[in-house]
Amino acid sequence: MTGHSCAARLLFVVAAVFFATTPARGEDAFKAFKQLNGTSKMPKLNAFSPNLGQTAPAQSTMKNVVLEARLTSDSDPMQQGLSWRVFSPIPGADGKLPLLASAEGGSADFQLEPGDYFVNVSFGRAGVTKKLSVPREGNVDKQVLVLDAGGVLLNAVSGSDTRIPAKELKFDIYSAEVQADGERGLVVEDVKPDSIVRLGSGTYHVVSEYGSVNAVVRADIKVEAGKLTEATIQHRAAQINFKLVSEAGGEAIADTAWSILASSGDIVAESVSAFPVMVLAEGEYTAIARNKDKIYQKDFTVEAGHNVDVELLLTK
């Protein structure tokens, strides 16, 4: 982690919103996310038998299987946003478990022949799989799967409270655990601000990028089952506009090549433009402009949340 990112801090606007205990707020947040559109309850689907390739018996032995999912063991059944999959437990020729049936929405009903199955339900990046045995005699009890899932909504500011344009922001979400190779597993990439990401409960490592140069902040965020965590990350950075001019406040001179150096002397950004715009982490920098075989330079300081112009004066 760089010194710039260490200076950043994580602000929890609303640490957790209970989906179960405050359904109006939780449901409103979920409905705002386009992937959650769906019917509240799926109709019964066509029957599937684990005895693939065999002729169906003359008298149906199919059983009605009702499936529902909950965010937590004591929350209400979910009404939308679910993806159901029913698999045969016997791998196919490709080594994968054959998909027998699927449904989207809330609770689901399946008509299944007696036998064993694997049932999977997913809610965004959260999911759970359960083995299901359908008996030959008697009814099948309603199957309840607990997702142990919640959600996170991310945003960021520059400085104390300067809003950052959404097009300048992106978030990547990684697992908190570091793998043997020293890397973290990528969970979701290129998350846009104000988008709800549905995740299994646990701690995640979030990387926020403001612009494309060096304004990067890392933070660990905890997702709790049945809750929506809203987090605002604070970037210690600003947007800087560069110009090579013949006089103070004049027009930018075209065909100018730019190099931006950090206080260490390392080049952090380059551009060929009359009026380049860059987002830089706070600190000390040197701007170098090259135009018609002449070189101009100027030292400047970036302060978090203060977007400014840096002008280099063309001298003879």
Placement of tokens 């965004």 in the chain: 124
Placement of tokens 């710039």 in the chain: 4
Reading the block at residue 285, the tokens are 């920098």
Q: Do 113 and 140 share a structural domain?
A: yes
Longest dimension (CA), the chain: 98
Residue 169 belongs to a domain: yes
DSSP state of 242: E
pTM above 0.85, yes or no: no
What are the φ/ψ torsions at residue 198 (nearest 5 degrees)? Answer: -95, 125
Rounded to 10 degrees, the C-alpha dihedral 225/193/270/296 comes to: -120
Helix (H, G, I), strand (E, B) or coil at 260: strand
Q: Do 158 and 139 share a structural domain?
A: no
Q: Do 181 and 166 share a structural domain?
A: yes
Residue 24 belongs to a domain: no
Q: Do 279 and 260 share a structural domain?
A: yes
Helical spans, DSSP H, in the chain: 3-7, 23-31
Residue 21 belongs to a domain: no
Residue 19 belongs to a domain: no
Q: Do 130 and 71 share a structural domain?
A: yes
Helix (H, G, I), strand (E, B) or coil at 49: coil
Do 149 and 123 contact (CB within 8 A), yes or no? yes
pLDDT at 133: 96
What are the b/e assignments for 243-254, b being 16+ CB within 10 Å? bbeeeeeeebbe
We report the CATH number of the domain holding residue 99 as 2.60.40.10
Residue 15 belongs to a domain: no
Q: Do 44 and 109 share a structural domain?
A: yes
Residue 245 belongs to a domain: yes
User: Of 231, 248, 267, which closes a domain?
Assistant: 231
User: What's the structural domain count of the chain?
Assistant: 3
Measured CA distances, 35 to 22, 80, 82 (Å): 21, 10, 10
pLDDT at 101: 96
Helix (H, G, I), strand (E, B) or coil at 6: helix
Residue 17 belongs to a domain: no
- Domain of residue 178 covers 3-9+153-231
Q: Do 36 and 139 share a structural domain?
A: yes
Residue 14 belongs to a domain: no
Q: Do 283 and 189 share a structural domain?
A: no
Q: Do 241 and 226 share a structural domain?
A: no
Q: Do 139 and 68 share a structural domain?
A: yes
Among 41, 215, 198, smallest CA distance to 123 is for 198
User: Of 231, 248, 276, which closes a domain?
Assistant: 231
In a structure prediction context, what are the per-residue pLDDT tens digits for the chain, which is 316 residues long? Answer: 444 444 344 443 333 443 433 333 344 434 433 332 333 333 333 334 444 444 544 467 899 999 999 999 999 999 999 999 999 999 999 999 999 999 999 999 999 999 999 999 999 999 999 999 999 999 999 999 999 999 999 999 999 888 999 999 999 999 999 888 989 999 999 999 999 999 999 999 999 999 999 999 999 999 999 999 999 999 999 999 999 999 988 999 999 999 999 999 999 999 999 999 999 999 999 999 999 989 999 999 999 999 999 999 987 5
Placement of tokens 């494309």 in the chain: 212
Cα(26)–Cα(176) distance, rounded to whole angstroms? 25
User: Of 91, 115, 146, which closes a domain?
Assistant: 146
